[in-house]
A and B are shown apart, each in its own frame.
Chain A
């Protein structure tokens, strides 16, 4: 499965990439903000997107809103420090399919990915 990782922190991308690799996902593309991600979705063709919220240039919420104007199918999991209920609702309304609050354990990230892909398969 092709996964697009969007996070302005290289450290956080590496941590998530390491978890994904351990789970057997090896086709991973990285983007450092929403603009970078929008430029890469077309060429990379991800089947799942993991997206941070607070990023320079274009934040994750703006990315999701922009992306959802043209693509409603590819699941997006928000991986962020934004844990307030209002923020989670805002993200879901924008088109986010699932939500992981940082800090996270590898098991939690794996669980959210499995849930998200199972829902997509059942849809």
Chain B
């Protein structure tokens, strides 16, 4: 994966959490994740298609998810309810949508409607030929991770972020 794809997600999660919840996000060191299981218990997943394809997952420990959802929705919500899933889904939607808007080179990228999985030890299938980049995030609500499994589709004529930065 082009490392320049990572920055938009960092900027985006900080922007989304700060604007919608006044919640500061401190970013740890991004790393390649080899374990196919999501890092934590609650996954908000969104697909990308077009010039960039793959998936983006926000992975929360249950306690963090409950704290973040309570801030975002304005009231505590029970995990396992449709409203809880809706709030997590909207967060991954905003983080991914905001990030794709920062991809350089005029890429045309569409995002899917989000899916949300709640429960320990669940598995999210992802592209095997694309590395998963995990970006650890720390907030006052607890830790979470952004897991990015995306690649630029060859032959689209779009400029990679690195090429754009070098231009």
Please report A residues at the B interface, Cβ cutoff 8 Å.
8-12, 14-15, 18, 54-56, 80-84, 86, 101-105
Contact = CB atoms under 8 A, between A and B. Distances in A.
Given A11-B83, A81-B111, A103-B15, A54 B93 contact: yes
B108 A102 contact: no
A104 B94 CA distance: 10
A55 B106 CA distance: 23
Contacts of A84: 100-101
B89 interface: yes
Contacts of A11: 72-73, 83, 86-87, 90
B67 interface: no
B57 interface: no
B83 A56 contact: no
Interface residues of B, number: 24
B74 A18 contact: yes
A112 B11 CA distance: 24
A95 B108 CA distance: 21
Contact of B73 (A14, A54, A103): A14
Contacts, number: 59
27 contacts: A9-B90, A9-B93, A10-B82, A10-B83, A11-B73, A11-B86, A11-B87, A11-B90, A12-B90, A14-B73, A15-B20, A15-B73, A54-B111, A54-B113, A55-B113, A56-B113, A81-B97, A82-B97, A83-B97, A84-B101, A86-B108, A101-B98, A101-B101, A102-B16, A102-B97, A102-B98, A103-B19
Contacts of B87: 9, 11
Contacts of A55: 113
Interface SS of chain A: helix, strand, loop or mixed? loop
Nearest to A80: B97
Given A54-B113, A104-B19, A81 B94 contact: yes
Interface string B60-97: 00000000000011100000001100110110011011
A19 to B, nearest CB: 11
Given A8-B113, A11-B90, A103-B15, A83 B83 contact: no
A86 B98 contact: no
